[in-house]
Each structure stands twice: as structure tokens, then as C-alpha cells.
Amino acid sequence: MLPLTGITVVALEHAVAAPFATRQLADLGARVIKIERPGSGDFARRYDESINGQSSYFVWLNRSKESVTLDVKSPRGREILHELVGRSDVLVQNLGPGAADRLGLSAAAVRARDPRKIVLGITGWGSDGPWAGRKAYDLLAQCEAGLVSLTGSADEPARVGISVADIAAGMYGFSAVLAALYQRRLTGEGATLEVSLFEALAEWMGQPAYYTAGSGRQQPRAGARHATIAPYGPFTAGDGRTVLISIQNETEWVRFCAEFLGAPELATDPRFATNTLRVANRDALEAIVDARFAAFGAAEASALLDRAGIANAGVNTVGDFLDHPVLRERKRWRDVDTPGGAIRALLPPISLGDEEPRMDPVPAVGEHTAAVLAELGRSPGEIACLADEKII
């Protein structure tokens, strides 16, 4: 019995943000019925063909769901969709601006029919306001939120290498649905929920926003270094490998000087006595640290840092990550079936104690259409006619 066993979610979703929210609901036991376009399905299925001929995005975001193909623009398709929503607990959608309204599935319309319904809409810029009608994609939100201006080298800004705005919106959508389910249990009332890519990422921009508002200047782009903490960044060991270190407070700074640099007097050097001074004199500081790292191989440097209680890490490739000893020794990988064959998938990061999260197959397009329509009382003949008419 997983926490969301018995909860049914209908998902009018595509791409990343809403599928990430609903996959996490499925992880916890919710039944997620994903509505897809007949024939082609969610367009994220075709983003790439890197994993057994399938999209890396899609297999990551859509395990444990049921795929129902439905032409929701046709009257009969829309009728079926409304039936499914009527039987569900939660409706999640990240359709384009105004699309849910045109389908008769605005939050107001759904909850007027059943006040217990929980309706989550994921938008780009908000459902109202000056940009409500604009399209939004992850990189656009990264740019407008100022994130790209902080990321990259001093010479060139860069996007974050994952869909961070989509992921943020999906996480907030997931947590909002959990809160609404708890509230409904207490009050009997559902909820109207909304999260936008831009505003989800705006929350994550809190620290640099406060820094700029308070100081009157923007943090510089610093590559893999931390813009406002030093020493915090990558250093090259004598064998050419990179070790990243992080000094978070003055106690660590004193230990780092004494036990790694072998120069305890640097802890009170007027150039380096506080973090603000260390950032201001970063070039001089890093020259000293660079010279010390050059005296060790990466493994030796890491061992010495560990003994000194200084946080450090290798700068891994994605290939290194896939074989990471923490994931391997903690048994975080599971086999998950997909239409292209079994793949390895990571367990969700939250441990459920003795319970395993749900790790069911990634569905083929429309794999569950006939079974779900049969639940709605459609006969095999009716289902065949709907298929012939390309409604499913």
C-alpha cells in the first residue's frame, strides 16, 4: 500500500513539467491516465532516439502511467475525456494558453461539477497577467529569470544543462497536489492549483536576487567556481585530474590552511581572514591553492581533504555518474520495462522505508486505451468504431 494508492490522476500533458509532476504521483502509487494524441502521442516521445530507439526524456518522465490516445478536439473524444475527468481525483494539464478552457476543462468548470476535484494547471508565465498568452519553454524561462546571466564563464553566459525551469515547476506542482489531497481529506474540498515555469524558477533565483537588490551589483559568472564564496571551486591536481573543494565557514577555513595547505598563518592573513576578503582576493588565494594541489595526485589530495574534514568531489562526466559507487552500493538502480526493452532507472530520491516506490513500465502510445474505455462501459464494437474513426 503506497501513500497514493486509490488516487486517480488524469493528465493532459506533454514535454517535461507536467509529466514530471505526475510521474512522481505515480511513484507514490497514484493511477495516472495520460491522454495522448492518436498515432503520435506526446511530442516528447520524439525528442531523441537515444535509449533503445526511444526518447530519453520520455522514458525518464512516464513510467508507471497508462497511455490513452484520444482526439480531444472531436465531440466524442471530448465526451470520453470528460467521463475520465469525472471519475478522477486530480486533473493535471500543461496545455497551451486557453486550451483547457476550450475543452471545457478550466479549473472553474471542473470544480463547478465536482468541488472535490483537484485541478493543477502548469503554465509558462501564469494564467493571467501581460504574458498569459505567450508560449514558454525551459530556456526562455531561464533567460527571463536571469539564470542564464549567472551561468557560464566570465566570457560567455550559458544555459543550465538540464531543464531546470520545467523540473522546478514539476516539483512545485507535485507538492501542491500532495498538499491539496491532504486538505481535501480534512475539509472535503478540492483545490485550484497553478504553477508557472517562470515563477517556479523565480523562487530558485532568491539568493542572487537578494544579493543584487542589497548590493546593487550582480554576482559575476564564475564557471564552476562559486561566485560569492572562496575557496569553492575546481583545482587541478598534479596528475591532471580535477578536484572541487568547498569551504563553507571559518572553522573549515582554519582547518584547510593548517591541514591541507600546511600554512596555518594564512587563516589570519589580512587578505583572507573572512570570506568577503577571500572573494575580493580570489586570484591570489587560488594561486596558493593551485600550487598546493599540484603537489598531489587527485586521489591523494582527496584523501588529505577528507582527513581534514573538507568537502570535496571529483568533477564527473555523465558516464562517471552512471557508475557512481554511491548509487551502486546503495542499490539505487532498478530495471524498468519500456516498449524498446528494459532499461536501468534510478529509484526516486525519497525513501519510503520498507516500501518500494512504483517502478512500472513506460507505456507504448495508446497501450491502455481499450482497457480504460472498457472500464467506462464501451463495448469492443464501440472501441473498434472509435479506432476506425481515428478518435482513439
Residues labelled as active-site residues: 226
For residue 92 the three cell numbers come to 493535471
- Per the listing, cell 529569470 goes with 145
Query: What is the DSSP code string of 54-65?
Result: B-HHHHHH-TTE
Query: How is 252-289 classified by DSSP, letter by letter?
Result: HHHHIIIIISS-GGGGG-TTTSSHHHHHHTHHHHHHHH
Please report, as a single letter, which amino acid is at residue 215.
S
Q: Give the C-alpha distances (Å, rounded to integers) separating 245 from 233, 236, 305.
A: 6, 11, 9
48: left (phi over 0), alpha (psi -120 to 50) or beta: beta
Is 221:157 a contact under the CB 8 Å cutoff?
yes
Cα distances (Å, whole numbers) of residue 211 to 145, 205, 246 = 15, 10, 20
Cα distance between residue 93 and residue 18, in whole Å: 7
Distances (CA, A) of 306 to 72, 228, 299, 301: 58, 24, 10, 9
Residues 269, 273: Cα–Cα separation, whole Å: 6
